[in-house]
């Protein structure tokens, strides 16, 4: 996620190519989902089939399942508590809230019972009818009904735009450290199992849809490309779907991802281009709101530049599609990443800041999507490292920095990239990152500390790491980290091990800084 506002205010191969890591294992969950959007009732009804493969050495008698639409249900959820603590309003009216119900889990033979995790109604313990032995698979199905909330905290509807995120029943991660069930939070992100998604979305034909995965409906895809090519070279033209009658069912396939989000709007302006990479041609789409002032005219270019930047920094983009979606105009949360598709909510962005936020969110395909660390416990591993690469992108392209923004002195434009970054990091070091970088998301005292520590203090830490290792050695080590941990779940000790193996250096002094309170006082 990217949160621009807090900082500005305060500051003034693809699959299976990784080298085996001895004893490493991870679970696999494949999904088959049929879902219908009721755009008048702002709701979804569907059925999910989950194929859960137990690759662990342990026998499982239950699965923890996330039911995250319930986070929006009342004023007692973990999300509501965090929103209220941040002095923001929880949705009061019934129509504005969200929930999931009509669940009836089955393994094909037996109906399966679940109970909520204490007071968390968005986490459930699902008892299996029989023990799931190591190497075994269980197929679980359930119908579901979701009432979408009025858009807030990454999900919901606004008018006729639908941001369908965290919307289906989904097993928590079981890894070498055990189960990781977690209630949905505003400040604190995700941790999910990899698998294959086969998702069919039924909705009125007048909607344009952006989603994780590649669209299987050839005619619809051809129309998006045709319209998108025209719009990419011309001022915004209304697309063709607005007047369409009836309903349609769009099918998306995605391999080796750990989440699936989708976005539907009648007014999306589609833009399209192709990007040639070493692995083949990637379809690049953007879906924006109609607006004369919009910087989105350049959005496809920004996405392409971002993909090139992260490919040269870390490694090959492995998916066939990359997309960015413009969210509701009244929200300025920055953006939110999902595999292959990102939601951008920065209505007043300048060219540089829109490029920065799109790049940040596209960059999460590498640091969250492909390298899938436990973000809830170690948020710096995706946000901090990703922000470090975003800052480098902004420095190289514009001598710009999203956090410092308009306060960057004019003469900084004449500096070399390295000198510019050195000055920027020095300035950022003055921000009051009181809590240690290694703080679990739920343990941050407030929104500002979460923002400053997870994004900025952690990016400064990466810069210190670069000063310690040297830029070339860090780049080499990060590429090894990507190769070894892509489509996997690394922890901080795995990250450190790769850096030390690649560089031959003892990095204990730098890793000790992850536990230090307050800012780094001039070290950056
Ligand atoms: Zn982020």
Angstrom distance (rounded) from CA 154 to CA 164 = 9
pLDDT level of residue 2 (50, 70, 90 thresholds)? low
Stretch (H or E) spanning 51: strand 43-53
Stretch (H or E) spanning 501: helix 492-503
Tokens 């607006």: give the residue: 291
pLDDT above 90 coverage of the chain, percent? 82
Angstrom distance (rounded) from CA 354 to CA 356 = 5
Separation of CA 3 and ligand 1 centre (Å): 8
- What tokens were used for 148? 């979408």
pLDDT level of residue 4 (50, 70, 90 thresholds)? low
pLDDT level of residue 176 (50, 70, 90 thresholds)? very high
Separation of CA 308 and ligand 1 centre (Å): 18
Stretch (H or E) spanning 8: helix 4-10
Separation of CA 234 and ligand 1 centre (Å): 31
Query: What pTM, to 2 d.p., does this model score?
Result: 0.94
Separation of CA 232 and ligand 1 centre (Å): 26
- Give yes or no for residue 363 having a pLDDT over 90: yes
Separation of CA 269 and ligand 1 centre (Å): 25
- Give yes or no for residue 458 having a pLDDT over 90: yes
State the Cα torsion 384-387-392-397 to the nearest 10°: 180
Tell me whether residue 276 is exposed, middle or buried, using C-beta atoms within 10 angstroms of its C-beta: 0 to 12, 13 to 18, 19 or more. exposed
Separation of CA 364 and ligand 1 centre (Å): 7
pLDDT level of residue 332 (50, 70, 90 thresholds)? low
- What tokens were used for 468? 């310690």
Q: What is the pLDDT of residue 342?
A: 97
Angstrom distance (rounded) from CA 364 to CA 326 = 17
Burial 455-465 (b: 16+ CB within 10 A, else e): bbbbbbbbbbb
- What tokens were used for 124? 């459930």
Angstrom distance (rounded) from CA 242 to CA 204 = 10
Separation of CA 389 and ligand 1 centre (Å): 11
Query: 424 versus 231: which is more confidently predicted?
Result: 424
Q: What is the pLDDT of residue 291?
A: 77
pLDDT level of residue 3 (50, 70, 90 thresholds)? low
Q: What single DSSP character describes residue 457?
A: I
Q: How does pLDDT run across 82-119, given as a tens digit for each residue?
A: 888 887 777 768 788 999 999 999 999 999 999 999 99
Q: What is the pLDDT of residue 519?
A: 85
Separation of CA 323 and ligand 1 centre (Å): 16
- Give yes or no for residue 17 having a pLDDT over 70: no
Residue 355 vs residues 76, 101, 249, 300, 361: alpha-carbon distances, Å: 38, 39, 33, 10, 10
pLDDT above 70 coverage of the chain, percent? 94
For helices 471-485 and 458-469, what crossing angle results, to 10°? 120
Q: How does pLDDT run across 389-432, given as a tens digit for each residue?
A: 999 999 999 999 999 998 999 999 999 999 999 999 999 999 99
Angstrom distance (rounded) from CA 456 to CA 380 = 9
Angstrom distance (rounded) from CA 519 to CA 76 = 34
Angstrom distance (rounded) from CA 229 to CA 325 = 16
- Give yes or no for residue 8 having a pLDDT over 80: no
Stretch (H or E) spanning 62: strand 60-66
Q: What is the pLDDT of residue 524?
A: 39
φ/ψ of 379, rounded to 5, equals: -60, -25
- Give yes or no for residue 185 having a pLDDT over 60: yes
pLDDT level of residue 239 (50, 70, 90 thresholds)? low
Angstrom distance (rounded) from CA 111 to CA 142 = 10
Q: What single DSSP character describes residue 103?
A: -
Separation of CA 386 and ligand 1 centre (Å): 7
Mean per-residue pLDDT, 178-188: 95
- Give yes or no for residue 12 having a pLDDT over 70: no
Q: How does pLDDT run across 53-89, given as a tens digit for each residue?
A: 999 999 999 999 999 999 999 999 999 998 888 877 7
Q: What is the pLDDT of residue 9?
A: 46
Q: What single DSSP character describes residue 177?
A: T
Residue 437 vs residues 222, 281, 363: alpha-carbon distances, Å: 46, 38, 21
3-state SS assignment for residue 441: helix
Burial 183-200 (b: 16+ CB within 10 A, else e): bbbbbbbbbbbbbbbbbb
Strand spans (E) along 226-355 = 247-257, 262-265, 269-277, 280-288, 321-326, 334-338, 341-345
The answer to whether 367 touches 439, Cβ cutoff 8 Å, is no
Separation of CA 383 and ligand 1 centre (Å): 5
Separation of CA 446 and ligand 1 centre (Å): 17
Q: What is the pLDDT of residue 315?
A: 98
- Give yes or no for residue 205 having a pLDDT over 50: yes
The answer to whether 391 touches 38, Cβ cutoff 8 Å, is no
Q: What is the pLDDT of residue 475?
A: 98
Separation of CA 166 and ligand 1 centre (Å): 17
C-alpha radius of gyration, the chain, whole number: 22
The answer to whether 516 touches 510, Cβ cutoff 8 Å, is no
Separation of CA 131 and ligand 1 centre (Å): 38
Mean per-residue pLDDT, 197-225: 97
Q: What is the pLDDT of residue 95?
A: 80
Q: What is the pLDDT of residue 365?
A: 98
Q: Roughly how many angstroms between the first and final C-alpha of the chain, as a whole number?
A: 24
**Residues forming beta bridges with residue 31, ordered by sequence position:** 50, 197
Of the listed ranges 179-193, 255-269, 329-343, 346-360, the least confidently predicted one is 329-343
Mean per-residue pLDDT, 454-477: 98
Mean per-residue pLDDT, 446-466: 96
Mean per-residue pLDDT, 165-177: 98
Separation of CA 48 and ligand 1 centre (Å): 28
Q: Is the dihedral of CA 424, 429, 433, 437 positive or negative?
A: positive
What does the mean pLDDT of the chain come to? 92
Separation of CA 385 and ligand 1 centre (Å): 9
Angle 99-54-50 (CA atoms, 0-180°, nearest 5)?
Answer: 35
């Amino acid at each position: 996620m990217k949160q621009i506002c807090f900082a500005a205010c305060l500051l003034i191969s693809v699959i299976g190519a990784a080298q085996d890591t001895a004893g490493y294992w991870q679970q696999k969950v494949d999904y088959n989902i049929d879902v219908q959007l009721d755009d008048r009732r702002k709701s979804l009804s569907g059925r999910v089939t989950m194929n859960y493969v137990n690759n662990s050495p342990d026998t499982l008698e239950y699965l923890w399942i996330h039911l995250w639409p319930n986070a929006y249900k009342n004023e007692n959820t973990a999300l509501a508590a965090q929103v209220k603590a941040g002095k923001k309003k929880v949705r009061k009216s019934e129509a504005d809230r969200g929930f999931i119900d009509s669940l009836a889990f089955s393994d094909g033979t037996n109906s399966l019972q679940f109970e909520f995790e204490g007071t968390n109604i968005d986490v459930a313990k699902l008892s299996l009818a029989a023990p799931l032995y190591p190497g075994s698979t269980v197929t679980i199905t359930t119908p579901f009904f979701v009432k979408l909330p009025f858009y807030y905290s990454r999900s919901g509807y606004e008018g006729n735009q639908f941001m369908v995120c965290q919307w289906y029943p989904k097993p928590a991660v079981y890894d070498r450290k055990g189960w990781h069930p977690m209630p949905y939070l505003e400040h604190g992100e995700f941790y999910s199992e990899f698998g294959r998604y086969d998702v069919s979305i039924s909705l009125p034909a007048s909607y344009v849809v952006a989603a994780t995965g590649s669209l299987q409906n050839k005619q619809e895809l051809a129309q998006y490309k045709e319209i998108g090519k025209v719009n990419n070279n011309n001022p915004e033209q209304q697309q063709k779907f607005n007047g369409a009658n009836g309903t349609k069912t769009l099918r998306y396939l995605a391999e080796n991802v750990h989440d699936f989000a989708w976005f539907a709007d009648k007014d999306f302006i589609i833009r399209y281009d192709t990007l040639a990479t070493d692995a083949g041609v990637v379809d690049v789409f953007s879906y924006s709101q109609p607006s004369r002032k919009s910087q989105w005219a350049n959005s496809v270019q920004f996405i392409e530049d971002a993909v090139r930047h992260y490919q040269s920094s870390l490694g090959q983009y492995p998916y066939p599609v990359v997309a960015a979606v413009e969210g509701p105009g009244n929200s300025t949360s920055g953006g939110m990443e999902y595999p292959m598709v990102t939601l951008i909510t920065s209505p007043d962005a300048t060219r540089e800041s829109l490029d920065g936020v799109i790049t940040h969110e596209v960059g999460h395909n590498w640091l969250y999507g492909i390298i899938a660390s436990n973000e809830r416990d170690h948020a710096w591993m995706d946000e901090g490292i990703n922000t470090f690469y975003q800052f480098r992108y902004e420095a190289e392209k514009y001598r710009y920095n999203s956090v410092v923004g308009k306060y960057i002195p004019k003469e900084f434009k004449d500096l070399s990239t390295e000198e510019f970054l050195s000055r920027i990091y020095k300035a950022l070091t003055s921000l009051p990152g009181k809590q240690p970088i290694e703080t679990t998301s739920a343990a941050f005292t407030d929104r500002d500390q979460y923002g400053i520590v997870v994004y900025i203090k952690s990016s400064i830490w990466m810069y210190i790491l670069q000063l310690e290792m040297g830029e070339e050695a860090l780049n080499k080590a990060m590429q090894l980290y990507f190769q070894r941990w892509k489509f996997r779940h690394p922890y901080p000790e795995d990250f450190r091990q790769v850096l030390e193996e690649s560089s031959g250096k003892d990095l204990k002094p730098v890793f000790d800084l992850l536990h230090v309170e307050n800012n780094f006082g001039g070290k950056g």
